[in-house]
Amino acid sequence: MASRTVFTCQACGHASPKWLGRCPDCGAWNTFVEERAAAPARGGGRRGGHALAGVLAAATEPVEPIALHQVDAGRQPRLPTGMAELDRVLGGGFVPGSVVLVGGDPGVGKSTLLLQVSQHLAARGLPVLYVTGEESAAQVRLRAERLGALAPDLAVLPTTDALQAAEAIGRYQPALAVIDSIQTLAHPDVASAPGSVSQVRESVALLMAVTKRLPVVLVLVGHVTRAGTIAGPRVVEHMVDAVLYFESPAHHAYRLLRAIKNRFGATHEIALFEMQDRGLAEVANPSARLLSERPRGAAGSAVVAAVEGTRPLLVEIQALVAPAPYGNPRRVATGLDLGRAALVLAVLDKRAGLHLGGCDVYLKVAGGLRVDEPALDLALAVALASSHRDRPADPEAVVIGELGLAGEVRSVQRVDERLREAQRLGFRRVVLPRGNLTPALAGVVGELELVPVQRVEEAIAATVG
C-alpha cells in the first residue's frame, strides 16, 4: 500500500495532514516537517527478521490480568557501574532491564562517561556492546586508548541501522548496551530521515522491546536542542526508566550529572565530575570542592545547606549591590531563579528596611551550579544585606530557611542532614527557622551553635550585625 504524506511536529510528534505554522499540541512554532507515513514497524523487519523475531518471541506476555500481589517482582541485584557518584544518581546502580536516557550539550562528556562505565563492567568479565552511529570503530578505539578502556569483553558496533543494533543486542546479549546516539539510528521501515520524530520513536520502541525481554541495561545518548532539552519527541522521555542530564557550567572543568526522572531512585539527585586528561574523575566531596575558593572576610557572601535529591550540599551564595548609575537598576541572577531573587528583594525592601530599589543587584551561585529550593531564601537575604551594608557575614555560619512575604522565616525539610553536612565541613553556627528547632535535633547538633530565628531581620542581625 502506498504511503501517505503527513506533517510531523519535531518537538512533540503531533501529526497533521497539512503544514501548520504552530503546533496545536505543544505550541512550538515552525516545527512541522513533511514525512512519508508508513506502517508501524514490527519485530521482523525486511532484513534479519528471523533473528529479531526469535528474540521478541523468547518471552511472551500474559494475556490475562494477574493479581498484583501474585506478580513475581524478579528482585535482581543492581549492577554497579564502577563509579560511586553515578551509582548515587541511579539509585544504587543499573537495574537489569532498565532503559536510561543521557542528554547534554555537545562535548560535555556523555560518550566519555559511558565509555568509562563500559570499561568498568567489561573489566569485571561482563559483556558490553557499544553501538556508535557518530564515530567509526577506529575513532572509538582512539578514545578508548586515551581512557584506558580496551577490555576484551567490550565490543563496538558502528552502525546507523536500528534493526542491526537490535539484532546484535539479541545475539550478543550484553549486560550493558550503549547507543551513541539515538538520533543517528534509522529504522528501515520508517520513511523519514534519521533524527526525525518517527525514526527516534520507532528506534527506541524496537530497542526497548528487545532489551526488556533479555534483560539488558540499555543506555541511550540523546542530543540536546538549543533550549536545553533532549531532541526528539517528549514521548521518549516517558518511555524510558531514567533521564539524566549533563550540565556543564561555562569555562568550568566540572560536570554536573542530574537525574530528572528515575523510576528506581530519587529524582534531582546529582553527581559532580571533573574533566581530566584521562576522562571524567569523580568529585567525592562536592561541598568542600565548591567552598574551597570562598573568600574570607568579603561582603556579600553567605553559605546555605541545600538538598539536591538525597544529598545535602553546601554552596556559596554571592551578592553584589551597587548604585545604578543611569537610574535603571539591573537584576541579574546566575545559578538561581530570578523570580525568587525578586521576591527576596521585595521582602527586604518592605519588611527589613533595606531600600534596594535604586541599586543594581547581581547574584550568583559560586561554582557554576544551579540551585532552586525554598531553603535558599534566607541565605540570599543575608548575602544581599551583607553587600548592601558592606559588612562581611559571619564566615562560620550556615544559613537555612524559607522566606515568607510577611518577612517570616518558615521551616524547611531534612534539617538533620543539612546540620550533619555543616558540621562535617567545620562550620560552628547554623541560622535556621525556629520551627525546625525540635528535641530530635539534639542527637545531631554536636558542637554546632543553633541560632533559631522567626523574622528575616533577626537572621540579618545574627550574621551581619
Q: Note the pLDDT tens digit of each residue in 105-117.
A: 888 899 999 999 9
Alpha-carbon torsion 281, 369, 382, 398, what sign?
A: negative
Domain ranges of the chain: 1-38, 79-284, 289-463
Which one-letter DSSP state was computed for residue 69?
Answer: G
Q: Residue 136's CB: how many other CB atoms inside 10 A?
A: 11
Alpha-carbon torsion 236, 77, 148, 169, what sign?
A: negative
Closest CA to 99 of 216, 235, 270, 233: 216
Phi, psi of 26, deg, nearest 5: -105, -10
Closest CA to 169 of 131, 114, 195, 137: 131
Q: Is the model's pLDDT at 287 over the cut of 60?
A: yes
Q: Is the model's pLDDT at 211 over the cut of 80?
A: yes
For the sheet with 270-276, list strands across it. 154-158, 128-132, 176-180, 217-222, 99-104, 242-247, 254-262, 270-276, 279-282
Concatenate the DSSP letters of all residues of 117-161 into one string. Answer: HHHHHHHTT--EEEEESSS-HHHHHHHHHHHT---TTEEEEE--B
Q: How far is CA 289 from CA 265, 292, 314, 440, in A?
A: 25, 5, 10, 30
Q: What is the pLDDT of residue 232?
A: 62
pLDDT tens, position by position, 334-390: 999 999 999 999 999 999 999 898 899 999 999 888 888 899 999 999 999 999 999
Q: How far is CA 31 from CA 23, 110, 256, 410, in A?
A: 7, 27, 30, 44
Which residues are annotated binding-site positions? 104-111
Q: Is the model's pLDDT at 51 over the cut of 80?
A: no
Grid coordinates representing 23 are: 503546533
pLDDT tens, position by position, 143-165: 999 998 899 999 999 999 999 99
CB 166 within 8 A of CB 185: no
Residue given cell 490475562 in the structure block: 64
What is d(CA 233, CA 332) in angstroms, rounded to the nearest whole number?
A: 33
Beta-carbon contacts of residue 1 (< 8 Å; ≥ 6 apart): 39
Closest CA to 118 of 21, 221, 205, 15: 221
Which residues are annotated binding-site positions for ATP? 104-111
The model's confidence at residue 41, banded by pLDDT at 50, 70 and 90, is very low
What is d(CA 447, CA 16) in angstroms, rounded to the nearest whole number?
A: 66
Residue type at 358?
A: G
Query: What mean pLDDT is predicted for residues 224-252?
Result: 75
Q: Which CATH class is domain 79-284?
A: alpha beta
Q: What is the pLDDT of residue 380?
A: 96
Domain over 289-463 is classified CATH 3.30.230.10: yes
Residue given cell 553501538 in the structure block: 131
pLDDT tens, position by position, 54-112: 555 544 455 688 898 887 776 778 999 999 999 999 999 999 999 999 998 888 899 99
The model's confidence at residue 293, banded by pLDDT at 50, 70 and 90, is confident
